[in-house]
Amino acid sequence: MITALILLPLVAAVAAALLPPLRLGGWLLPLVAAAHFALALATPLSPAGTGEWLLLDPLGRLVLIVTSLLFLLCSIYAVAYLRFHEQQRDNRAMVPCLLFFLGTLTLATVAHHLGLLWVAVETTTLASAPLIYYNRNRLSIEATWKYLLLGSVGIALAMLGILCTAYAVLHVGQPVSLQFDQLLATVSNSSRPWLHTGFVFLLVGFGTKMGLAPLHSWKPDAYGEAPALVGALLAGGLTSVAFLGILRGVQLMAAAGDLALARQSLIIMGLLSLALAAVFVVKQPDVKRMLAYSSVEHMGILALGVGIGGLATFGAMLHLVNNSLTKGALFLSVGNIQRAYASKHLSEVRGALSRVPLSAGIFIAGFLAITGSPPFGPFISEFTILRGIFGEGHPWLGGVFLLLLAIVFIGMGGTVLMATQGEVPADTPPSEHRDSVMLAGPPLILLALVLVLGLYLPEPLRVGLEQAAALLEAKP
């Protein structure tokens, strides 16, 4: 079933590239996405220690299911989105690239070999770059080149991390294999300086793809210029997969019984990301760039949670789910608002509640969710991380965490209120765009799921989160 999960979107991508544009329509996307999500739910966890290159463990399964669900709802949104764009050449490229992107994300979640994981994460860059360039203007090409260049630098650093990790085992005369189970079995007898160097390079390399500060500078441009559904997939899918690469490094450090450096590094980068987001999100005039800095913030929260360990690690796993779903709802609703005003700049977007009331309402609720307001899921996951911080004896860190969250809330709140409240400016051109089931339905479903996770945590999800978190803790 793992092979089918990978091949389904890749074969569909080839078919989409070969089909005539008029036959394609866009319906291939949700059909493939629905089948992929069903397969993701049905695929059982693989037995550990088999030596396979493709294997589904609790960490990979968590990221896989969340990414597949997000892609399914974005693909439904895409059907209506593509109808507004009559340039068949663009649409014909977008559908195969989206499917190829799903295939590479899937490969990264099931890759149980560091070399294969590296290839999968690098390929996500190639699959998503044309999607960022979709609008084909000067700003989009600048954003695409920045994304490619910084992503390539990051993935090169990750390769150095993999090589250093392999040499850490080789240096003490152990047999070397990049197959993950074999690495876990041998890393306890590795050279500590080389292992530490390898982890730092993995953190910086995959952290660049994830968008951790100070390696985040591609995010505001890429998220700002990409179509809304692409921004949702980047913020909810790509970042989760890149985070998985970092978590593999944490697993190795845990197996080596040497988590101190990993946790300290994650805490530092997490706090730096939170602080930078708090600075740049205030008075941000571009709504989508605001969401990009919000993404930097939440990548910092994930890193901080895993860095603290214990209960905070469980909170980070839950926050990975909440962040992906909430970011999807926000980007899709912002896409609807942007289309109604033909602008994403705050000076031209006013009174969205009167022009697209449903999308604007989702946007406001999504803002409350992503800033950790009850009763939404992110409140539960952030509160769990906060409990973990205080439980591990870091009260000053908990205070800084709360302060930075409050600054982000105030900064984002001003932008959201200005965009949604008041009257539509008199000089705003009329728009035929209105909320529809296909455009407003997917973000509404995502928001509803986030609300449910704030009120009730299903038992299968709780067990999956506990299993994923257990892989990141030190072994006795």
In the chain, the amino acid numbered 411 is G
pLDDT band at 415 (very low <50, low <70, confident <90, very high): confident
Q: What is the mean pLDDT of residues 296-314?
A: 96
Q: Which of 282, 280, 272, 153 is nearest to 221 (CA)?
A: 280
DSSP 26: T
pLDDT band at 51 (very low <50, low <70, confident <90, very high): low
CA atoms within a 13 Å half-sphere pointing along the CA-CB vector of 154: 31
Cis peptide before 458, with omega less than 30 degrees from 0? no
Strand partners, 111: 54
Is residue 406 in some structural domain?
A: yes
Among 32-41, 92-101, 166-175, 237-246, where is mean pLDDT lowest? 166-175
273-297 pLDDT per residue, tens: 999 999 999 888 888 899 999 999 9
132-178 pLDDT per residue, tens: 998 888 889 999 999 999 999 999 999 999 999 999 988 766 677 88
Give just the sign of the alpha carbon dihedral 53, 151, 300, 102.
negative
Is residue 415 in some structural domain?
A: yes
Examine the pLDDT at 47 and tell me if it is beyond 80: no
Q: What is the pLDDT of residue 328?
A: 96
Is residue 197 in some structural domain?
A: no
Q: What is the distance between the alpha carbons of residues 289 and 295, in angstroms, rounded to a whole number?
A: 10
Examine the pLDDT at 25 and tell me if it is beyond 60: no
385 phi and psi, to 5 degrees? -65, -40
Secondary structure string (H, E, C) spanning 417-445 = HHHHCCCCCCCCCCCCCCCCHHHHHHHHH
Is residue 239 in some structural domain?
A: no
| Owner of token pair 């730096």 | 272
- 3-class state of residue 309 by DSSP: coil
Is residue 153 in some structural domain?
A: no
Give just the sign of the alpha carbon dihedral 431, 432, 435, 441.
negative
Query: What domain count does the chain have?
Result: 1
| Owner of token pair 């099931």 | 110
CA atoms within a 13 Å half-sphere pointing along the CA-CB vector of 453: 31
- 3-class state of residue 4 by DSSP: helix
Cβ atoms 291, 334 nearer than 8 A: yes
Is residue 392 in some structural domain?
A: yes
Q: What is the distance between the alpha carbons of residues 33 and 110, in angstroms, rounded to a whole number?
A: 17
pLDDT band at 89 (very low <50, low <70, confident <90, very high): very low
Domain of 316, in residue numbers: 273-475
User: N- to C-terminal Cα distance for the chain?
Assistant: 33
113 phi and psi, to 5 degrees? -145, 125
Average pLDDT, the chain: 90
94-145 pLDDT per residue, tens: 889 999 999 999 999 999 999 999 999 999 999 999 999 988 888 899 999 9
Is residue 369 in some structural domain?
A: yes
Q: Does 151 or 344 have the greater pLDDT score?
A: 151
User: How far is the CA of 89 from the CAs of 61, 141, 145, 152, 313, in angstroms?
Assistant: 35, 17, 21, 27, 45
Is residue 403 in some structural domain?
A: yes
Examine the pLDDT at 345 and tell me if it is beyond 80: no
Q: What is the pLDDT of residue 476?
A: 45
Structure tokens at 235: 């913020």
